[in-house]
Amino acid sequence: MKNYLFNFFLFLLLFCVAISHQTNAQKKRGEKKEDKKEEKKEDIKKDDTKKENNKQDNTNAVSDTIKKLRRPLNKEELSNANVFRKLDEAKIKPDSTFILDMPSFCCPFFPKEMGNMVNIQILRMNGVDLKEIDSTIIGRFDHLQVLSVNNNFLKDLPKQMSELKNLEELELRKNKFLMIPKIIGSLPKLKSLDMSLNLDLAKTGTIPAEIGNLKTLETLKLEGLMLSKLPASFGNLTNLKYLNFKLNKLKNIPAEVLKLNNLEVLIMRKNGITTIPNELSNLKNLKHLDLSANILTTFPESILKLTNLEILNLSDTKITNYPIQQLGNLKKLKELHLKENNIKVEDINKLKNILPNTTQIFF
């Protein structure tokens, strides 16, 4: 009986030991599995971190490329660039948006997404009911070359416009300006400026002296502003080639204009001019002269010395007597406009014989 009990307890002890070993083994296997899971998680984290780092490296590489692209494009590059006409399309590739031409009535403000389009070179927002140019956005476009915001409700320009050191063309036709903004004088590369038909500006009829700072200006359009005088600094625009003063109140050709020796086109239509100074002959490079709809009664002899003239418009000037023989000196003349001057038919026939065969006479 004792042997039986002893054997029973021994069996029970061995069974418990075996169960304990089995439990410990399972526990260890579970711990190993957990360790492997943790290791796998760590590996996944490492892979994700590596991918993120690679992505960041790629992003940095792209940013570096973009920085390299951040320069004014030349004409050939701009001619090959895509023209975005929808903001939604431009938003997808803000760094590749070089030309943005917004449709009329699209938005009367600068959408905030435009602030990311730092490579923009040409921006047109004509007829969109724009009331102001966003000062927080416009200064970012440091490589902008053309800004066209015609037919809007602009009254002034923000001081941040002075950041546009590469701006070459500025179109501000048909807005609500009360005066020509002085800030324009701080645009060192500006070649073309159009402030025409700002009817509210016509109430003051003045030009700020700062315009004389635009030493690179080649084209200036100031039509319909009721200007009566020019600042002395206007004579500093020595690179000017095209000047449009149509529909103003300049009773004569200002002395400041007569200093612009590189001028090729001078449009003075409908200003109330009565006499033409002899100094007009100083403009040796003049190819197109429009004095139509002024109150001239005699033919300005200084015109006869402008031997590079190709187009001469004297329509509706009430001139009746012409120095026909002397007009024959204008060997390059292609167009002569004499409508509404009551010129005699025999004088027209004489002009046809005197002027080059290539000259068209409109009467």
| Domain final position from 118, 149, 180 | 149
Q: Which domain holds residue 270?
A: 150-362
State how far the Cα of 162 lies from the Cα of 204, in Å rounded to an integer. 24
Please report the DSSP string for 80-125 in residue order.
HS-EE--HHHHHHSGGG--EEEPPTTS-SS--GGGGG-TT--EEE-
Domain co-membership, 350 together with 227: yes
Q: Which pLDDT belongs to residue 57? A: 46
If we measure between CA atoms, which residue out of 335, 327, 334 comes closest to residue 353? 327
| pLDDT interval class at 321 (50, 70, 90) | confident
21 pLDDT more than 80: no
| pLDDT interval class at 356 (50, 70, 90) | confident
State how far the Cα of 310 lies from the Cα of 241, in Å rounded to an integer. 15
Q: Which pLDDT belongs to residue 6? A: 58
In a domain, 39, yes or no: no
Q: Which pLDDT belongs to residue 43? A: 59
| Domain final position from 93, 122, 149 | 149
Highest mean pLDDT pick, 67-81, 117-131, 344-358 = 117-131
State how far the Cα of 121 lies from the Cα of 100, in Å rounded to an integer. 8
Domain co-membership, 248 together with 138: no
State how far the Cα of 166 lies from the Cα of 145, in Å rounded to an integer. 6
Give the mean model confidence (pLDDT) for residues 98-108: 90
In a domain, 108, yes or no: yes
Domain co-membership, 286 together with 144: no
Q: How far from 200 is each of 64, 179, 194, 197, 203, CA to CA, in Å?
A: 47, 8, 15, 9, 6
* pLDDT tens digit sequence for 159-190: 999 999 999 999 999 999 999 999 999 999 99
Give the mean model confidence (pLDDT) for residues 354-362: 90
Domain co-membership, 241 together with 145: no
Q: Higher confidence at residue 37 or residue 275?
A: 275
Q: Higher confidence at residue 61 or residue 50?
A: 50
* pTM of the shown model: 0.80
State how far the Cα of 116 lies from the Cα of 127, in Å rounded to an integer. 23
Tokens of 79: 């001619």
Q: Which pLDDT belongs to residue 60? A: 40
Share of the chain above pLDDT 70, in %: 81
Domain co-membership, 133 together with 74: yes
Domain co-membership, 235 together with 156: yes
Q: Which pLDDT belongs to residue 28? A: 54
The distance from CA 63 to its chain's CA centroid, rounded to whole angstroms, is: 25
If we measure between CA atoms, which residue out of 270, 324, 332, 269 comes closest to residue 299? 324
State how far the Cα of 331 lies from the Cα of 4, in Å rounded to an integer. 144
8 A C-beta contact, residue 162 and residue 182: no
State how far the Cα of 174 lies from the Cα of 155, in Å rounded to an integer. 11
61 pLDDT more than 60: no
Domain co-membership, 267 together with 280: yes
State how far the Cα of 317 lies from the Cα of 74, in Å rounded to an integer. 44
Give the mean model confidence (pLDDT) for residues 215-221: 98
55 pLDDT more than 50: no
The distance from CA 348 to its chain's CA centroid, rounded to whole angstroms, is: 46
31 pLDDT more than 80: no
Q: What is the count of structural domains for the chain?
A: 2
| pLDDT interval class at 343 (50, 70, 90) | confident
Least confident window among 103-112, 122-131, 212-221, 290-299: 103-112
Q: What type of residue sits at position 144?
A: L
64 pLDDT more than 50: no
State how far the Cα of 11 lies from the Cα of 106, in Å rounded to an integer. 93
Supply φ then ψ for residue 308, to 5 degrees.
-95, 5
Q: Higher confidence at residue 251 or residue 67?
A: 251
In a domain, 341, yes or no: yes
Q: Which pLDDT belongs to residue 318? A: 87
Scored b (16 or more CB within 10 A) or e, 207-219 reads: bbebbbbbeebbb
Domain co-membership, 128 together with 228: no
In a domain, 51, yes or no: no
Enumerate residues 6+ apart whose C-beta is below 8 A from 156.
132, 177, 178, 181
Domain co-membership, 245 together with 120: no
Cβ count near 292 (within 10 Å): 22
Domain co-membership, 339 together with 210: yes
Domain co-membership, 93 together with 225: no
Give the mean model confidence (pLDDT) for residues 3-29: 58
In a domain, 81, yes or no: yes
In a domain, 23, yes or no: no
| Domain final position from 88, 117, 149 | 149
Three-state secondary-structure class, residue 12: helix
Q: Which pLDDT belongs to residue 10? A: 58
Give the domain CATH number at 88.
Answer: 3.80.10.10
In a domain, 35, yes or no: no
Give the mean model confidence (pLDDT) for residues 233-240: 97
Q: Higher confidence at residue 196 or residue 49?
A: 196
205 pLDDT more than 80: no
Enumerate residues 6+ apart whose C-beta is below 8 A from 357.
none
State how far the Cα of 181 lies from the Cα of 157, in Å rounded to an integer. 7
Domain co-membership, 124 together with 231: no
8 A C-beta contact, residue 290 and residue 315: no
In a domain, 272, yes or no: yes
Give the mean model confidence (pLDDT) for residues 74-95: 92
What integer best gives the mean pLDDT of the chain? 86
